[in-house]
Amino acid sequence: MSVKSLRNFIGGRFEDGIRTFDKLNPANGELVARVHEASRDQVNAAVAAARQALPAWAALPVNQRTDYLYALADGIERRFDDFLAAEIGDTGKPVGWASQIDIPRGAANFRAFAEIARTLDMESFMTDTPDGRQALNYAYRKPLGVVGVISPWNLPLLLFTWKVAPALAFGNTVVAKPSEVTPSTATLLAEVAAEVGLPAGVFNVVHGFGPNSAGEFITTHPDIDGITFTGESATGSTIMKAVAPGVKPVSFELGGKNAALVFEDADFDAAVAGVARSVFANCGQVCLCTERVYVQRPIYDRFVAALKLEAEKLVLGRPMDSATTMGPLVSHEHREKVLSYLRLAVEEGATVVTGGGVPTFGDERDQGAYIQPTIWTGLPETARCIKEEVFGPVCHIAPFDTEEEAIRLANDTHYGLAAAVWTTNLTRGHRVAQAMQVGLAWVNCWFLRDLRTPFGGSGLSGIGREGGRHSLHFYTEPTNVCVKL
C-alpha cells in the first residue's frame, strides 16, 4: 500500500507543513501516511482565510449555501471506497462497521443539516402593548462567525462532519483540526470540497496535535469566534481555559461512563445482544459505549454467562475481512492505557470473567493494537474502573434488586452522556429513562440516532447540545428585533 502525504488545506489550497509525522495502521503497524503538521503561521493563515470568506458565505441565500452541503455529501458517496479505505487504514476498524456507520454518516450529517437550515422557522411573538396596540418581536439569527472545530479519533469522519456540517449550514466558516491519530478522511473531505468548488477559505483543514500545535493555535487564536470540540473531558477543561480570556462560546461532547440497566422482565436475548453491541462495538471506542452493566438479580448469573459467550464469539480479525466483528484499538499508545485499566481492575479486586489481556495470532496482527474483549464482576462501586472512562472493549457487571437501586447506581457518576434500559415493561422503560441523568437514554436499543434530536451530555460529558435545531444555539447568534406596530 502506497504511503500517502496528508497536507493542510488553507484558503482553498493544499500546503505542506513545517514537519511531518507518521501515521501507522493499528491493525498491522504499517506506515500508511506522512502527515504535514501546520505551523502557527499556517493556522493564522487559515483563520484569516476563513474571516475573509465569511461575509460572502453568510450572505449566500440558504438554498445556494446548502447546495454545497448536498454536493459534499454526494462527493463522499462518489468517493465512498476512498473514504472507506482511508478510515480503515487510520483506525483498523472492521469494514462492516466503517461501511455501515462511519462513511454513510459523513454524508448523512451534511444532508441532515442542509435540510434543517432550509426548513428552519423563525421565532416570533406578537406583543400586546400598554397603548392597546401591538409590537412584533422576532429572533433574527446570524452566524457565530469563524468556528474552530477539533475532533477525536474514534469515529473520525462521523464526528468531524457532525461539527463541520452545521457550522457551514448556518453560514459560519471553519478552521478544523482532525485528530492526529486519524487525519485521512478529513483530508479527503478537503479534496471533495475543492472538487465541488466550495469557495476558498470557507472550510480549512490544519493537521497537528493539541498542546503547542494546531489544536492550541486554534483555541487561543483571538480571531476565532467559538470552539466546538469532541474529545476527552480533561482536554475539554484545557480548552475552556484557553478560550476564557476571550470569553468564547464552546460546544463540548466529551467522555462518558455509560450504564446499561437490564431488568428481569427484559427480552433476554435482545438485551444480551444489545448490551454486547453497546460494550464491544468499534472495539469499545465510542463515547456512548456501555462500561457499566447492572442486571436485576434473578437473571444476573444467566446474563453474565450469556454476555461472556457473546464476548468470546467476537472475531478479532483483519479489518477488511467481512467476518471480523472486532478490530484493534486505534493505537498501541491507547492499548497501553486500556491495559493499565485491565491491570488496575485486578488490583481493585475484579473477577475477570473473560479477556483481560492481549491475544496472540502468530501473524501480522501481533504488530497491531489488538486486545481481548473483557468482562469484570465483583468490583466495588467506588473502584476507579467503575468511575473512570476506559474507552475500550470492557465492561463491569453488577446485580441490583430494585428499580430505585438501579437508578441510583446508574446515576452515581460525574459523567452524564448516555444510558440504555432493557425492559419489556414500557411504563418502566419511560420512567427509568427519564430518571437517567444523561443526555441520551435508549430503551431496548442503543446508538439508534435521529439527527434532529438533541445530542450531548452534562457534567464531565460536555456542554451544550447539537443536532437538529439544537445546533442553532451554538452556531448562530440571535438578535431579537422588536418593531412597534
Ligand X SMILES: N/C(=C\C=C\C=O)C(=O)O
Ligand Y SMILES: NC(=O)c1ccc[n+]([C@@H]2O[C@H](COP(=O)([O-])OP(=O)(O)OC[C@H]3O[C@@H](n4cnc5c(N)ncnc54)[C@H](O)[C@@H]3O)[C@@H](O)[C@H]2O)c1
**Interface residues toward ligand X, by CB under 6 A:** 154-155, 159, 162, 286-288, 449, 455
Task: Indicate which of ligand Y, ligand X, none lies near residue 220 (CB less than 5 to 8 Å, by partner kind).
Answer: none
Helix pair angle (426-435, 403-411), 10° resolution: 30
Instruction: Report how far residue 310's alpha carbon sits from residue 312's, in angstroms, rounded to the nearest whole number.
Output: 5
**DSSP conformational letter for 480:** E
Q: Which residue has the cell 446485580?
A: 399
Counting contacts by CB under 6 A, is residue 254 touching ligand Y?
Answer: yes
Q: Tell me the Ramachandran region of residue 134: left when phi exceeds 0, alpha when psi lies from -120 to 50, beta otherwise.
A: beta
φ and ψ at 147, to 5 degrees?
-105, 130
Among 25, 154, 413, 423, binds ligand Y (CB under 6 A): 154
φ and ψ at 448, to 5 degrees?
-95, 115
Task: Indicate which of ligand X, ligand Y, none lies near residue 225 (CB less than 5 to 8 Å, by partner kind).
Answer: none
Cβ of residue 208: shortest distance to ligand Y, in angstroms? Answer: 7
Query: Among residues 286 and 435, whose Cβ is nearest to ligand X?
Result: 286
Among 94, 231, 284, 327, binds ligand Y (CB under 6 A): 231
Task: Indicate which of ligand Y, ligand X, none lies near residue 127 (CB less than 5 to 8 Å, by partner kind).
Answer: none
Q: Which residue is nearest to ligand X (CB)?
A: 287
User: In the 3-class helix/strand/coil scheme, how is 420-442 assigned residue by residue?
Assistant: EEECCCHHHHHHHHHHCCCCEEE
What is the side-by-side strand order in the sheet with 394-400? 351-354, 374-377, 394-400, 290-296, 258-262, 418-422, 440-443
Counting contacts by CB under 6 A, is residue 239 touching ligand Y?
Answer: yes
Cβ of residue 178: shortest distance to ligand Y, in angstroms? Answer: 6
Residue 485 near residue 133 (C-beta atoms within 8 A): yes
Contact set for ligand Y, span 272-301 (CB under 6 A): 287
Counting contacts by CB under 6 A, is residue 114 touching ligand Y?
Answer: no
Q: Which residue is nearest to ligand Y (CB)?
A: 210
Residue 259 near residue 409 (C-beta atoms within 8 A): yes
Please, what sign has the CA dihedral across residues 94, 100, 104, 105? Answer: negative
**DSSP conformational letter for 114:** H
User: In the 3-class helix/strand/coil scheme, how is 182-218 assigned residue by residue?
Assistant: CCHHHHHHHHHHHHCCCCCCCEEECCCCCCCCHHHHH
Contact set for ligand Y, span 187-226 (CB under 6 A): 209-211, 215-216, 219
Closest CA to 400 of 414, 413, 410: 410
Instruction: Report how far residue 411's alpha carbon sits from residue 420's, in angstroms, rounded to the nearest whole number.
Output: 12
Counting contacts by CB under 6 A, is residue 245 touching ligand Y?
Answer: no
- Binding flags for ligand Y, 255-274, as an x/- string (CB under 6 A): xx------------------
**DSSP conformational letter for 170:** T
**DSSP conformational letter for 172:** -
Among 391, 422, 442, 474, binds ligand Y (CB under 6 A): 391
Task: Indicate which of ligand Y, ligand X, none lies near residue 391 (CB less than 5 to 8 Å, by partner kind).
Answer: ligand Y
Counting contacts by CB under 6 A, is residue 159 touching ligand Y?
Answer: yes
Task: Indicate which of ligand Y, ligand X, none lies near residue 449 (CB less than 5 to 8 Å, by partner kind).
Answer: ligand X
Query: Among residues 318 and 334, whose Cβ is nearest to ligand Y?
Result: 334
Query: Among residues 85 and 254, whose Cβ is nearest to ligand X?
Result: 254
DSSP-derived secondary structure for 376-427: EE---TTSHHHHS---SSEEEEEEE-SHHHHHHHHH-SS--SEEEEE-S-HH
Stretch that binds ligand Y, among 63-71, 121-129, 149-157, 186-194 (CB under 6 A): 149-157
Given the residues 37, 180, 216, 253, select the one marked as catalytic.
Answer: 253
The verdict on whether 253 is a catalytic residue reads yes
Cβ of residue 157: shortest distance to ligand X, in angstroms? Answer: 12
Among 72, 150, 275, 371, binds ligand Y (CB under 6 A): 150
Cβ of residue 274: shortest distance to ligand X, in angstroms? Answer: 17
Catalytic positions, written as ranges? 253
Interacting residues with ligand Y (CB under 6 A): 150-154, 159, 177, 179-180, 209-211, 215-216, 219, 230-232, 235, 238-239, 253-256, 287, 389, 391, 417, 462
